[in-house]
Amino acid sequence: MIREVAELNIGRDDVIPLWFGEPNEATPDFIKQAAIDALEGDQVFYAQNRGVPSLREALSVYVSDLHSRTIGIDRLTVTASGMNAIMLVSQALIDKGDNMVVVGPVWPNCCQTVQVMGGEARQVALRPDENGLWQLDIDALFDLCDDRTRAVFVNSPGNPTGWVMKSSEQRVLLDECKKRGMYVVADEVYIRLAYEQPRAPSFLDISLADDPLIVINSFSKTWSMTGWRLGWLTHPSVLGDTFSVLNEFNIASPTTFVQHAGLTAIEEGEKFVAQMVEGYRQKRDLVFQRLKAMPRVRLSCPEAAFYAFFNVDGMIDSLEYSKELIETTGVGLAPGRAFGEAGEGWLRLCFASEPDLLSLALDRIEPALS
């Protein structure tokens, strides 16, 4: 549905595109140079299925430091993007007739990879409380589980909501999944883009090496590398051979010289990450203050990621409303229904854009939302 809104309007000079979830900032020069150096050094041949060893070693150091526990390379598999990682997980876990319970509203591809494998994605909806803060009903989540439930999928920090799952909730969920023989699949691609704490809580903070946990991550958001298509999985070592084979069947291995650029991103990118997050914080504050002042709008302040997900009073069809907004205001937003039925009545604005452009977009939509 997001592409249905965007496709006919991409490239229009009069449209401010805030529909896709992508940083507006280009990949830093030092990462680009690393790719150039790798090309000139002939890093253009097939790599090992699970990734270039030097990148996996760097990921081991990075993830171990981030979570204050040792995570060896036997638990790490490099993927061709976070999206590819999500697909690999569904290929590994889901057979026809199985199901995965998914916390929503959520990026639609997370559910559709389950459906591609002949499974069912059962969505349990986050709900705003009286203060507008997103809350998860864990009892309702487990009510959706049965003997064909293979995993629970959690995207935290969340797209589109900006919701962050508390560590105490993660522990309850992981413990119950262990009892029931189900995996937790944690999409943590926005973990570094947190505004109320140095980073968002992670299931890796509380888990043991052999727990039924698979964590998805990506270079796209943290290091502004969306078009490079590079990510990784953290998983129990027993799944290493499975993901090696799945990488072989899907792509053989992620692009070799891109992996060398990813190595440089990890080793030299902390200053860039800190500056980027501070910039997003300022944009978040701008967008939140402006939107909450509009009479028909209801939203909570995003805790992480770079989205404002807001409810519009009286809006019945978010897809049609998004199309109308483009024609009447020239601002492109994502319809909430794209993220599941629980998203109907809501719109998503990606604030990973220039402040002046965000201000202009808000000026344009304010009359329609007042």
pLDDT per residue as tens digits for the range 244-278? 999 999 999 999 999 999 999 999 999 999 999 99
Whether the Cβ atoms of residue 348 and residue 309 lie closer than 8 Å to each other: yes
pLDDT at 168: 97
Q: Which percentage of the chain shows pLDDT scores above 90?
A: 92
Q: How many residues does the chain have?
A: 370
Same domain, 13 and 71: no
Pair 248, 323: CB distance under 8 Å: no
Verify that 262 and 276 share a domain, yes or no. Answer: no
Where does a domain end: 268, 287, 318?
268
Find the CATH number of the domain harbouring 190: 3.40.640.10
Cβ(214)–Cβ(184) under 8 Å? yes
Identify the bridge partners of residue 17 per DSSP, sorted by sequence position.
332
Question: Is there a single domain that holds both residue 302 and residue 289?
Answer: yes
Backbone torsions φ then ψ of 140, nearest 5 degrees: -65, -35
CATH code of 275's domain: 3.90.1150.10
Domain C-terminal end among 208, 234, 268? 268
* pLDDT range class, residue 24, cuts 50, 70, 90: confident
pTM reported for the whole predicted model: 0.95
Give yes or no: residues 88 and 220 share one domain: yes
* CB neighbourhood size of 87 (10 A): 21
Residue the block writes with tokens 């979830």: 21
Cα 275 off chain centre by: 20
The per-residue pLDDT of the chain, averaged, comes to 96
Residues 220 and 106 in one domain: yes
300 pLDDT more than 90: yes
Task: List the structure tokens of 93.
Answer: 């876990």
Is the model's pLDDT at 235 over the cut of 90? yes
Q: Is residue 312 predicted with pLDDT exceeding 90?
A: yes
Residue 84 contacts residue 250 (beta carbons within 8 Å): yes
Amino acid identity of residue 37, one-letter, is: D
Residue ending a domain, among 268, 301, 320, is 268
- What is the C-alpha separation between 348 and 160, in angstroms, rounded? 6
Strand-pairing partners, residue 231, are 79, 218
Residue 221 pLDDT class (50, 70, 90 cuts): very high
Q: pLDDT band for position 130 (50/70/90)?
A: confident
Give the span between the Cα atoms of 53 and 14, in whole angstroms.
47
Residue found by looking up tokens 């002939």 in the block? 42
Q: Please check the confidence at residue 6 and state whether its pLDDT lies above 90.
A: no
| Average pLDDT of span 85-101 | 98
- Structural domain of 299: 2-27+271-369
Tell me the Cα Rg of the chain: 20
**pLDDT tens readout for residues 159-200:** 999 999 999 999 999 999 999 999 999 999 999 999 999 999
Q: Give the strand pairing for 346-350 and 99-104.
A: unpaired
